[in-house]
A and B are shown apart, each in its own frame.
Chain A
């Protein structure tokens, strides 16, 4: 795993990608720091990070699109499959390298609150908690990008897909306001969602029984719940949309709260998408 990590991290800096990521992050964080902290005199560095979350929609696809799609494109995936490595080693090594490429410029921005502290009062605890949350959120989004990169041979498709998914995810919280709270609509949407997940499961595992079992259990449970208590489904779609929004998890940290739930949320997203990436890599080995 460490060899994969080192190779990937080196490859960011043997080309332009690593430098572009660092330049964009440092440049924009610098501009926002000057504007918010120096010009307007806010003592909160976390406000700068709040303004930066949108930048992830562009940076994360750039960081992740080639991770696995690139290996497939240049046929080096066969090397990884034939070497004494597990798919877990490959997924974890690549994920950590991309996360490190994001973390290195963020380490430099860690100096900013200290510099600002020389000129006034800075709340270091909220500033560094915000930086940690920003880094963890980056990790969660990288894991999504990594998974999407494992689904295709084209870096362009992987990057575009990642951009679209992050853009939609960024908007889900705002969209949740406009979603109907009618029970029957939520129920039907969830039933459809259950079927979609079952099809994805079938596609990833090539195991029809697994897909069918999931569909029967998920949709069966929802049907039973709906028949017993239709009120349960009232407004549930809006709740699900809000829960699936990764970007909104920063809010607590921006308001000066160390939100442990958000930390667990980010780590869970990383875990789930690394697992899905391993499944996508294994699916390729099954040659389906």
Chain B
């Protein structure tokens, strides 16, 4: 549906986006994840044709966004980071205006405006001036605007910024509903948001694609051996002595806590967990807590975005 090839954007001497390449399939929800300043908004502006690239191409359903701009843009609905709303228009007037630009017929326009308002639950505000409405409403009007032409692709730049938790939850539900009917690309620096709604994650940093894949496949790729965390009442020598007899333990850290209790972290195969338990049991050393730690998307995100600039991306799964 969307194909980005060697996309680069240079502002004066600052490279905002560098040699991006990826393909997005129809009907999925994609999350563009990255810290502030990673190049997410620039990438979305390039994909939607709001910005022209220094080099590279973007095609929407085979149509070049710059060479065949009108036809390609007809397939996209875009909500920038700041919803582009005219404060002196009513919600209905605004939505009808965007529909008229998309050359919808009079009857189709009325149907689409009603459908978009119903999808985003803003029917009650149809006759209200946009300047009188709350941030949550404005965000939903912005999303409704993207739905007017019933485009195949919907691109949302940080759609939940500045909203309260209830509004965030409502917008996430709405985005989840949009997946399947549309290809949704959503940018965010909030991991839980991406994890909650996206089928596929692209991690961006310093304008480069660091990794891409489903949240599960990324976790699998970056997890390595599972980590086992134990809370035990024993000193460091005792722990070492007990675990000496258990094979396949790669790394071991010992962190003393209060009241003679220590946290022990070790990397081992999952199959060895029982052996570790029994070893402590036979040594009559009580285990107060035992937990297998999975590598979360957050760890992957931090690991990738903490690194200095590097070449290449880690692709997981079929992109």
- Select which of A11, A15, A77, A82 is within 8 A of B78 by beta carbon: A82
Residues of B within 8 A of A85 (CB): 70, 73, 101
Asked if A76 is at the interface of the complex by the 8 Å CB criterion, the answer is yes
New contact pairs (12) apart from A10-B93, A74-B84, A81-B50, CB-CB < 8 Å: A74-B85, A76-B84, A78-B45, A78-B50, A78-B78, A78-B82, A82-B49, A82-B50, A82-B78, A83-B102, A84-B69, A287-B51
Q: Do residues B50 and A285 form an inter-chain contact, with CB atoms below 8 A?
A: yes
Verify if A2 is at the interface (C-beta below 8 Å from B): yes
Question: Contact: A3 with B101, CB < 8 Å?
Answer: yes
Contact between A3 and B88, CB atoms less than 8 A apart: no
Please state if A79 and B145 are interface contacts (CB–CB under 8 Å). Answer: yes
* Interface membership of B180, Cβ < 8 A: no
Chain B minimum-CB-distance residue to A90: B101
Given A3-B97, A14-B88, A287-B11 in contact, is the A84-B102 Cβ separation under 8 Å? Answer: yes
In the bound complex, residues from chain B placing their C-beta under 8 Å from that of A15 are 88
Q: Verify B49–A7 contact, CB threshold 8 A.
A: no
Query: Which residues from A are CB-within-8-Å of B76?
Result: 82
Instruction: Enumerate 25 A-B pairs (CB-CB under 8 Å) in ascending A order.
Output: A2-B100, A3-B100, A3-B101, A4-B101, A7-B89, A11-B89, A74-B86, A76-B84, A76-B86, A77-B84, A78-B50, A78-B78, A78-B80, A79-B84, A79-B145, A82-B48, A82-B76, A82-B80, A83-B73, A83-B98, A83-B102, A85-B73, A286-B52, A287-B9, A288-B12
Interface residue ranges, A against B (CB under 8 Å):
2-4, 6-7, 10-11, 14-15, 74-79, 81-86, 285-288
Q: How far is the CB of B19 from chain A (nearest CB, A)?
A: 18
- By a beta-carbon cutoff of 8 Å, the part of chain B in contact with chain A is 9, 11-12, 45, 48-52, 69-71, 73-74, 76, 78, 80, 82, 84-89, 93, 97-98, 100-103, 145
A81 to B102, CA, bound (A): 13
Complex Cα distance, B294 from A249, in Å, reads 79
Is there an interface contact between A79 and B98, defined as CB atoms closer than 8 Å?
yes
Which residues of A lie under 8 Å from residue B102 when comparing CB positions?
Answer: 83-84
CA distance A79 to B45 in the complex (A): 11
A86 touches B69 (CB 8 A): yes
Number of A-B contacts (CB under 8 A): 76
Complex interface: chain B residues within 8 A of A286 (CB): 51-52
Cα-based distance from A77 to B45 in the complex (angstroms): 12
**B74: min CB distance to chain A, Å:** 5
B73 near A287 with CB under 8 A, answer no
Rounded to whole angstroms, the CA-CA distance of A82 and B185 in the bound complex is: 15
Closest residue to B76 on the A side, CB-wise? A82
CA distance A288 to B52 in the complex (A): 10
Question: Are B87 and A74 in touch, CB under 8 angstroms?
Answer: yes
State whether A84 touches B100 (Cβ < 8 A): no
| Closest chain B residue to A1, Cβ basis | B101
List the 9 closest pairs (A to B, CB-CB), nearest first. A79-B84, A3-B100, A81-B50, A82-B78, A84-B73, A76-B84, A84-B70, A3-B101, A78-B80
CA distance A79 to B82 in the complex (A): 10
Which residues of the partner chain A approach B49 to less than 8 Å between Cβ atoms?
A: 81-82
Chain B residues, Cβ within 8 Å of A14: 88-89
Nearest-neighbour CB distance to chain B for A7, whole angstroms, equals 5
B86: chain A residues at CB < 8 Å are 7, 11, 74, 76
C-alpha spacing A2/B167, complex, angstroms: 36
Contact A285 B52 (CB under 8 A): yes
CB-based nearest A residue for B87: A74
CA–CA, A23 to B300, complex, Å? 65
> Which residues on B sit within 8 Å (CB–CB) of A285?
50-52
Which residues in B have their C-beta under 8 angstroms from that of A84?
69-71, 73-74, 101-103
Partner of B70, one of A11, A76, A86: A86
CB-CB under 8 A from B89, the residues of chain A are 7, 11, 14
What are the residues of chain A within 8 A of B74 when measuring CB–CB?
Answer: 84
